[in-house]
Chain A
Amino acid sequence: MGRITILLIEPSFLIREGIKTLISQSGKPFNMEESETTIVNLSKLLQKTKPHIVMANPVLLTDISFPRETNDDLSQIQYVALIHGQIEPKVQGRFNFMLPLNADKPTLIKKIEEIYEACSIKNQEKESATLSERESTILKYVALGLTNNDIAERLFISSHTVMTHRKNITRKLGIKTISGLTVYAILNKLIKVEELQGTQ
Chain B
Amino acid sequence: MLITGDMKMADVIHLNHHLLHMINRFGIQLGFGDRTVNEVCQHYDVHADFFLQLVNTFHDPSYFPLNELQNFPPGVLVDYLHKTHQFYLEVKIPEIEELIAQLETLSGIDIDHIKLLEDFFRQYKQELTSHINKEEQRVYPYVKALENALFTQNPDMSNCDNCREYSIQQYEDDHDDVESKLFDLKNIIIKYMPAPKDSRMFNIILHELFELEKDLNNHGHIEDLILVPMVERMEKEINQLRAGNTVM
Residues of A within 8 A of B (CB): 173-177, 179-180, 183-184, 186-188, 193
Chain A residue at minimal CB-CB distance from B112: A193
Q: Is A177 a contact of B191 with CB atoms below 8 Å?
A: no
- The interface size bin for chain B is 10 to 19
Q: Is B184 a contact of A176 with CB atoms below 8 Å?
A: yes
Q: Is B120 a contact of A180 with CB atoms below 8 Å?
A: yes
Q: Is A175 a contact of B116 with CB atoms below 8 Å?
A: no
Q: Is B187 a contact of A177 with CB atoms below 8 Å?
A: no
Contact with A along B84-123 (1 / 0, CB 8 A): 0000000000000000000000000000110011001001
Q: Is A179 a contact of B192 with CB atoms below 8 Å?
A: no
In angstroms, Cα B119 to Cα A193, docked, is 12
Q: Is A180 a contact of B116 with CB atoms below 8 Å?
A: no
Point out the residues of chain A lying under 8 angstroms from B113, CB to CB. Answer: 187
Tally inter-chain residue pairs, CB-CB below 8 A: 42
Q: Is B112 a contact of A179 with CB atoms below 8 Å?
A: no
In angstroms, Cα B113 to Cα A186, docked, is 9
In angstroms, Cα B129 to Cα A111, docked, is 54
- Tell which of B123, B192, B194 touches A184, judged by Cβ atoms closer than 8 Å: B192
Residues of B within 8 A of A (CB): 112-113, 116-117, 120, 123, 180-181, 183-185, 187-188, 191-194
Q: Is B116 a contact of A179 with CB atoms below 8 Å?
A: no
| Shortest 7 CB-CB contacts between residues of A and residues of B | A180-B184, A174-B187, A176-B180, A175-B184, A177-B180, A177-B184, A177-B181
Q: Is B181 a contact of A183 with CB atoms below 8 Å?
A: no
Q: Is B191 a contact of A174 with CB atoms below 8 Å?
A: yes
Point out the residues of chain B lying under 8 angstroms from A175, CB to CB. Answer: 184, 187-188
Point out the residues of chain B lying under 8 angstroms from A179, CB to CB. Answer: 120, 123, 181, 184
Point out the residues of chain B lying under 8 angstroms from A173, CB to CB. Answer: 187, 191
In angstroms, Cα B185 to Cα A53, docked, is 33
Q: Which of A174, A175, A180, A186 has most B Cβ within 10 Å?
A: A180
Point out the residues of chain B lying under 8 angstroms from A186, CB to CB. Answer: 116
Point out the residues of chain A lying under 8 angstroms from B192, CB to CB. Answer: 183-184, 187-188
In angstroms, Cα B116 to Cα A186, docked, is 9
Point out the residues of chain B lying under 8 angstroms from A193, CB to CB. Answer: 112, 116
Point out the residues of chain A lying under 8 angstroms from B123, CB to CB. Answer: 179
Determine how close the nearest CB of chain B comes to the CB of A191; give it in whole angstroms: 12
Q: Is B188 a contact of A187 with CB atoms below 8 Å?
A: yes
In angstroms, Cα B184 to Cα A188, docked, is 15
Determine how close the nearest CB of chain B comes to the CB of A166; give it in whole angstroms: 14
Q: Is A183 a contact of B180 with CB atoms below 8 Å?
A: no
7 residue pairs of the A-B complex, CB under 8 angstroms, read A173-B191, A174-B191, A175-B188, A176-B183, A177-B181, A179-B123, A193-B116
Point out the residues of chain A lying under 8 angstroms from B112, CB to CB. Answer: 193
In angstroms, Cα B106 to Cα A156, docked, is 46
Q: Is B193 a contact of A180 with CB atoms below 8 Å?
A: no
Q: Is B191 a contact of A180 with CB atoms below 8 Å?
A: no
In angstroms, Cα B191 to Cα A176, docked, is 14
Determine how close the nearest CB of chain A comes to the CB of B172; give it in whole angstroms: 22
Point out the residues of chain B lying under 8 angstroms from A176, CB to CB. Answer: 180, 183-184
Point out the residues of chain A lying under 8 angstroms from B183, CB to CB. Answer: 176
